Structure 1
Amino acid sequence: MMTEPQITELERDIIKEILNIGLARAADSFAAIARDKVLLKVPDIQLIEVKKLIDLVTEYEDTHIIIQSDIKGDFNGATLMLFSDDHVVRLSEVCLAMVEVQKGELSVMQESLLLEISNIITGAMVTQMANILKANIYGSPPKSPKNHIADSLKDILVQHPLFQPLVFTVITRFTHNSKSVELPLLLFFDSNTFLKILDIIRTFQLGKNDLAESE
Structure 2
Amino acid sequence: MMETQISELERDIIKEILNIGLARAADSFAAIAKDKVLLKVPDIQLIEVKELLELVAQYEDTHVIIQSDIKGDFNGATLMLFSDDHIVRLSEVCLSMVDVQKGELSVMQESLLLEISNIITGALVTQLANILKANIYGSPPKAPKSHIADSLKDILVQHPLFQPLVFTVITRFTHNSRSVELPLLLFFDTKTFITIIDIIRTFDLGKNNLMETD
Same fold (TM over 0.5): yes
What letter corresponds to residue 24 of structure 2 in structure 1? R
Alignment deviations for residues 59-109 of structure 1 (CA, whole Å, 9 cap, x no partner): 000100000000000000000000000000000000000000000000000
Cα pair 1:14 1:211 within 8 Å, conserved:
no
Partner of 1:109: 108
CA distance in 2, matches of 1:133, 1:186: 20
- What secondary structure does 2:203 align onto? helix
CA distance in 1, matches of 2:197, 2:133: 13
Cα pair 1:81 1:118 within 8 Å, conserved:
yes
CA distance in 1, matches of 2:41, 2:21: 10
How far did 1:22 drift? 0.3
CA distance in 1, matches of 2:175, 2:39: 15
Partner of 2:159: 160
Gaps of 5+ in 1: none
* Matching of residue 195 in structure 1 with residue 191 in structure 2: no
CA distance in 2, matches of 1:112, 1:173: 20
For the aligned residue pairs, the C-alpha RMSD in angstroms reads 1.0
What letter corresponds to residue 175 of structure 1 in structure 2? T
Cα pair 1:204 1:214 within 8 Å, conserved:
no
Count matched residues.
213
CA distance in 2, matches of 1:57, 1:107: 24
CA distance in 2, matches of 1:170, 1:7: 19
CA distance in 2, matches of 1:33, 1:19: 21
Partner of 1:20: 19
Partner of 1:210: 208
Q: Which TM-score applies when normalising by structure 2?
A: 0.97
How far did 1:176 drift? 0.6
What letter corresponds to residue 40 of structure 2 in structure 1? K
CA distance in 2, matches of 1:109, 1:211: 41
CA distance in 2, matches of 1:125, 1:31: 15
Give 1:1-215 correspondences, 5 Å limit.
1-2=1-2, 4-205=3-204, 208-212=206-210, 215=213
CA distance in 1, matches of 2:152, 2:60: 13
CA distance in 2, matches of 1:186, 1:131: 21
- What secondary structure does 1:198 align onto? helix
Q: Greater shift after overlay, 86-95 or 197-206?
A: 197-206
CA distance in 2, matches of 1:150, 1:49: 14
Cα pair 2:172 2:180 within 8 Å, conserved:
yes
CA distance in 2, matches of 1:213, 1:128: 11
Cα pair 1:69 1:119 within 8 Å, conserved:
yes
What letter corresponds to residue 142 of structure 1 in structure 2? P
CA distance in 1, matches of 2:70, 2:204: 25
CA distance in 2, matches of 1:91, 1:27: 15
CA distance in 2, matches of 1:176, 1:62: 27
Cα pair 1:204 1:210 within 8 Å, conserved:
no
How far did 1:214 drift? 5.6
Cα pair 2:131 2:210 within 8 Å, conserved:
no
CA distance in 2, matches of 1:152, 1:96: 29
